[in-house]
Amino acid sequence: MKQILDEAIKGGYGVGAFNVNNMEQIQGIMQAASETKSPVIIQASRGALKYTKMLYLKYLMVAAAEDNPEIPIALHLDHGNNFETCRQAIELGFTSVMIDGSLKEDSKTHTAFEENVEVTAKVVEYAHKFGVTVEGELGTLGGIEDGVGSGNILLTDPDDAERFVKLTGVDALALAIGTSHGAYKFKQAPVLAMDIITEVKKRLPATPLVMHGSSSVPENLIDIINKYGGTLKHAMGVPIKSIQEAIKRGVKKINVDTDGRLAITGAIRKYMAEHTDVIDPRDYFGEARKAVYETVKSKMIDFGTAGHAGDYKPKTLSDMIEIYKSKYIKKIF
């Protein structure tokens, strides 16, 4: 993932990180990436790993890579809650991990800055031995999704961000700028702290910045779900224009989960309501896959990712081991 995000800094675009739980999601994402010629980050939460029993997800991702050799792909652990979770993901073959040291292992309670530094630095030291990228987080988001979140927003302090990156050696830093996890993000258009992105980027120009809780919660997807039996309340997500402004200021990884869930749910509800005699899962899961493809394709275009898959030759984990090793040697001497 480090290479994907470093190239995004050079090119001035953002890269979507899309959460997955099953084959149809992965296939829909990869179809969009292939058609738009986009590098892509596919990420799995601890909930997804539990749902797929870990091993199944690994081989779905191997299939995605073999089927799309021309697309740079990173497999990323989303919101690892401790060192052991990150270690297991690395052992499974993940090329990137996030250690969310901003919260304790319960994924709900705030940690002190020093606690965050300690666990993040430990993960960085271990992961880099295997060529694996590490994302850290400073500050906390609103909302709760997949069991992660304190429910309270604690904005990132740029002074702390600068110290944090220097003390831990993380490859990417997730900022808290007022975004929120889950479908029910905001009752009105959010006012995001864009100045935090600008200030952190000024201090850490080589560090890719990350936006969590960045689904846009499109109204048309809510409407489809509710038209076919759903009872979702209307809420606002992060507008695409706000994400594009964040990309201009330095955000290079944009996490998208809720929009994919909404697209899948709406597609299945609609198909089953219109085909009441259906019994073949391939029929409605096929519609779900198509909905994921359409949603992700639009994100890749909006984030500016489209067309950049062929800009560079993807590095392997072995390549990254040597790069991290040389960085360590320079640091010592």
Q: Which entry of 78, 100, 259, 302 is annotated as an active-site residue?
A: 78
Residue 222 CB neighbours (<10 A): 20
Alpha carbon distance, N-terminus to C-terminus of the chain = 27
Give the pairing of strands 172-175 and 15-19. unpaired
Q: What are phi and psi of 237, to 5 degrees?
A: -105, -155
Q: What is the distance between the alpha carbons of residues 179 and 167, in angstroms, rounded to a whole number?
A: 26
Residue 281 CB neighbours (<10 A): 11
Q: What is the distance between the alpha carbons of residues 257 and 292, in angstroms, rounded to a whole number?
A: 11
Strands (E), 276-329: none
Cα distances (angstroms) measured from residue 39 to each of 12, 89, 156, 312: 14, 21, 28, 10
106 is catalytic: no
Residue numbers annotated as active site: 78
